[in-house]
A and B are shown apart, each in its own frame.
Chain A
Amino acid sequence: MRRAALGAAILAAFFLSGCGEAPQVTVYKQGKYQGKPDTQPWSNAPLAYGDATWNKGDRASWETQINKRAMGQNEDNRIYRQ
């Protein structure tokens, strides 16, 4: 019961704070996500093999790469546009 209530409280906190997009996504600060150590995917350099390319640290170029890669899942792209 108590845990459930706590959970509900946390949920409520989220809802109250979540009037817009931004609060739902944790803000990246000092190499930490909400106190967890992690790095963003675009902070890495591309692998030495394969054809993935982006500029290290540049989120936009990484997203371009990811979206290009997503086209592998679109057979229409391979069938009609390649």
Chain B
Amino acid sequence: MARMKFLCDAERCIECNGCVTACKNENEVPWGVNRRRVVTINDGVVGAEKSISVACMHCSDAPCMAVCPVDCFYKTADGVVLHDKDLCIGCGYCFYACPFGAPQFPQAGAFGLRGKMDKCTFCAGGPEADRTDAEFKKYGRNRLAEGKLPACAEMCSTKALLGGDGDVIADIYRERVLRRGKGSEVWGWGTAYGPGKAGAQPPAGGKS
């Protein structure tokens, strides 16, 4: 059974922000809400600059889901973490819990009101009838229900950002890493599993 995952290849990401505008375009996310962002570390430092694209990682055991006081999150059968904006109280607790800063909150209004949480849906819409206006307006596009994958990954300029069934994108990444002989170490392979030959194995994106 497919489980949806993103994977960003830091050897490839050039911080072009194609993923960011693809998301804005496809989901018509308003100004100020960034479901996806590109993060660059060591900006401009010779030999040390790296970029990656980050959004909701659709954790298998999602902390947001665990802490939500109104239990607005749910996980679809294909592994996508979604939430119900009708239930969400905009408390921001998920924002505390998320290791990636994925939940987005519209800026406080005149009376200190907080908006509903918004985040990456893996282009899978939300709890409204699929591919309807209601779903689009509240959650954005439902590409999975169209047999397509998230717009950000599909349009990535260098194919750095991969999105889809974890097994399949792990295969894509594995082929690439084997060919070039490096890349996986960026993700802390050495830290997690001890020193070894970089690129010997890609991270296990498929089963988590």
Contacts and interface: CB of A to CB of B under 8 A. Distances in A.
- Do any beta carbons of A and B sit within 8 angstroms of each other in the complex? yes
Contacts of B127: 33, 36-38
A41 B150 CA distance: 13
B76 A66 contact: no
B200 interface: no
Which of under 10, 10 to 19, 20 to 34, or 35 or more describes the interface residues of A? 35 or more
A10 B66 contact: yes
A40 B74 contact: no
Nearest to B146: A47
B147 A46 contact: yes
B75 A73 contact: no
Interface string A3-36: 1001100110011001000001110100001111
Given A28-B77, A36-B84, A14 B147 contact: no
Given A24-B60, A73-B164, A40 B67 contact: no
Contacts of B168: 67, 70
Given A11-B66, A44-B131, A70 B149 contact: yes
A6 B69 contact: yes
Given A47-B146, A73-B153, 16 more contacts: A34-B74, A35-B71, A35-B74, A37-B127, A38-B126, A41-B124, A44-B131, A63-B2, A67-B2, A69-B154, A70-B165, A73-B149, A73-B156, A73-B163, A75-B159, A76-B176
